[in-house]
Amino acid sequence: MKNWIFKANNLIKRFGPGCAFCKDLTGAERQSNRCPVCGTVVACANASFVLEQGEVLGIVGESGSGKSTLLQMVNLSLVPDSGELLYREVDSKGNPIGEGLNLLTLDKHARRTFRNERLGIVHQRPELGLNMHFTVGGNVAEKLLLAGWRNVGTIRKRTTELMHLTELPPERIDDEPRKFSGGMLQRVQISKALSSNPAILLLDEVTTGLDLSVQARVLDLIRQIQWELKMTMLLVSHDLGVIKQLASKTMVMKNGTIVESGLTDQILEDPQHPYTQLLVSSAL
């Protein structure tokens, strides 16, 4: 895989003291990812994946499977106990260069700078991704200021461009998010996430809780953005329908463990792991 821009190698995240029994008594083949001996939750166990330039990778699993924990580690907002997160920049032609930088070796300031400049995230709950007391323009400006932008006119112009891209009325640039509907709030989040031209867009259950018609419009927008910008995306969802529409490759997680990965169509048409088979049959 010469065109990879992001690699996760053996990421582990535990919540609790941990003990010698955690590895053997938790995981996909067990009933829980909580260790019955010490009470530690093994939220992510030896997770590895590769993201290629322009690829959309889906992570699917039930609540508590560890998919959102994995996304938070990729977003550098949650530090893993061990593992690597490798990132490669791309040249002017979009080709990845270099051997890759391990983001987990960066100090807190450098991680925060990387997150603001090279990552964008859209949360399930808009209040996690937006300051509800700022205007739309203020929310985008917040992201851009953290990414090093300083000219107010340039920031406002960039915000207007993003509102056009996400089909938000530009004349509402000075409205507060609380005046928008759920679907429009997701568009505001997407505008903010895209503002600094991130290398990777992270999507965390972006359609959950929306009406079906609104879900369809948000998914259409994401597909359009991916097609127009050739955006690399990591998508978390419990909905196989969303995964099928957006992701070219998919990973299936259960109790903190990746149980199956591969081409989305292949996984949906011929699932190998019993848990994947259950997910697919339940969605039919």
259 and 250 Cβ atoms separated by less than 8 Å: no
The pair of structure tokens assigned to 105 is 């070796």
Q: How many angstroms separate the Cα of 4 from the Cα of each of 50, 120, 240, 275?
A: 7, 18, 25, 28
Q: What is the pLDDT of residues 192-233, one digit of tens each?
A: 999 999 999 999 999 888 888 899 999 999 999 999 999 999
Stretch 223-246: mean pLDDT = 93
Spatial contact of 133 and 176, defined as CB atoms under 8 Å apart:
yes
Structure confidence at residue 1 (pLDDT): 63
Quick one: pLDDT at residue 210? 84
Superfamily of domain 54-79+107-283: P-loop containing nucleotide triphosphate hydrolases (3.40.50.300)
- Whole-angstrom distance, CA of residue 101 vs CA of residue 163: 33
Specify the pTM.
Answer: 0.94
pLDDT at 168 exceeding the cut of 90: yes
Residue 284 scores a pLDDT above 70:
no
Q: How far apart are CA 192 and CA 124, in angstroms?
A: 14
Please check whether residue 140 is in contact with residue 120, taking contact to mean a CB–CB distance below 8 angstroms.
no
Residue 29's pLDDT band (boundaries 50, 70, 90)? confident
Name the amino acid, one letter, at 78: L
Go through the chain and tell me how many residues it has: 284
Task: Break the chain into its structural domains and give their ranges.
Answer: 54-79+107-283
d(CA 280, CA 240) in angstroms, rounded, equals: 8
23 pLDDT band (50/70/90 cuts)?
confident
- What is the distance between the alpha carbons of residues 5 and 186, in angstroms, rounded to a whole number? 26
